[in-house]
Amino acid sequence: MTIEERTNASLVTHALARDTLSRIRDVETQQVSFRKGLVKLGRICGYEIIDGAMETEYVPVRTPLTEMTGERVTGLENIVIINVLRAATPFVEGLLKAFPRARQGVISAGRDEEAGMNERGEFPISIDYVKLPQITPEDTVIVADPMLATGSTMCVVLDHVLSDQPEPAKLFVLSAVSAPDGLLRVSEQFPQADLLTVAIDDHLDENGFIVPGLGDAGDRAFGTD
């Protein structure tokens, strides 16, 4: 069975998403181009979510010449985007171009790289800051993080997002690059989530980095190492 058959994962299929991801994977791509690539990917993924998951309605439109029936996307006022600091910041900047009226939440989450992975392939995650909007049952919640590696970060983030809140109408976990381990872990713990990703890569290395991946997304976008 493929990983998509074993989980709720599906691929963002837009050719420009694959093009942009391939450019930012390149080790020669420097900070500014890398960050701009993540912004562009976020915008494309946002449009893909609208295309695949949102309803439209017919509306009367009066053009300068005549009256006609037009079409509008519904539900754009019920979008919540969660930014997993820090690597998701440029990704969310792009998503906001598709969802300019989204309510936003922020969670600062970091893997304890020094502690390393435990025997279950999980990292300890430190959460330093959480500020979330109230979620309603009408909302579509998009939790954005460009990298889904072991899934440790996303599971802790989803615990925070969903605790003491009504279940949203739809829940998307949006990533640029995912590893099979992370998709399996998040799918198992949060079967209600749709996992959207531009690529499902091969495996994790011994340090929990996605291979082939793109390296450390936060460091490359923020110019740190």
Ligand X SMILES: O=c1cc[nH]c(=O)[nH]1
Annotated binding site for uracil: 210, 215-217
What span, in angstroms and rounded, lies between the C-alpha atoms of 84 and 96?
14
Q: Which is closer to ligand X, CB of 38 or CB of 98?
A: 38
**123 is a contact residue toward ligand PRP (CB under 6 A):** yes
CB 14 within 8 A of CB 43: no
Member of 79, 147, 162, 173 binding ligand X (CB under 6 A): 147
CA-based nearest residue to 105, from 122, 127, 124, 121 = 127
Please report how close the Cβ of residue 198 comes to ligand X at its closest, in angstroms.
Answer: 14
CB 185 within 8 A of CB 174: no
Window 181-220: residues binding ligand PRP (CB under 6 A): 182, 208, 216-218
CB 46 within 8 A of CB 97: yes
CB 214 within 8 A of CB 198: no
**218 is a contact residue toward Mg ion (CB under 5 A):** yes
- For 191, the enclosing helix (H) or strand (E) is none
Q: Which is closer to ligand PRP, CB of 96 or CB of 177?
A: 177
Member of 98, 193, 217, 221 binding ligand X (CB under 6 A): 217
Please report how close the Cβ of residue 34 comes to ligand X at its closest, in angstroms.
Answer: 11
What span, in angstroms and rounded, lies between the C-alpha atoms of 118 and 19?
35
**180 is a contact residue toward ligand X (CB under 6 A):** no
| 177 DSSP β-pair partners | 147, 199
CB 201 within 8 A of CB 150: no
Please report how close the Cβ of residue 56 comes to Mg ion at its closest, in angstroms.
Answer: 38
Dihedral of alpha carbons 13, 211, 147, 221, sign: negative
Fill in the per-residue mask, 150 to 169: x = in contact with ligand PRP (CB under 6 A), - = not in contact. xxxxx---------------
Please report how close the Cβ of residue 216 comes to Mg ion at its closest, in angstroms.
Answer: 4
Work out what residue 145 binds among Mg ion, ligand X, ligand PRP, none; the CB cut-off runs from 5 to 8 Å by kind. Answer: ligand PRP
| Residues forming the site for ligand X (CB under 6 A) | 87, 147, 149, 209-210, 213, 216-218
| Residues forming the site for Mg ion (CB under 5 A) | 216, 218
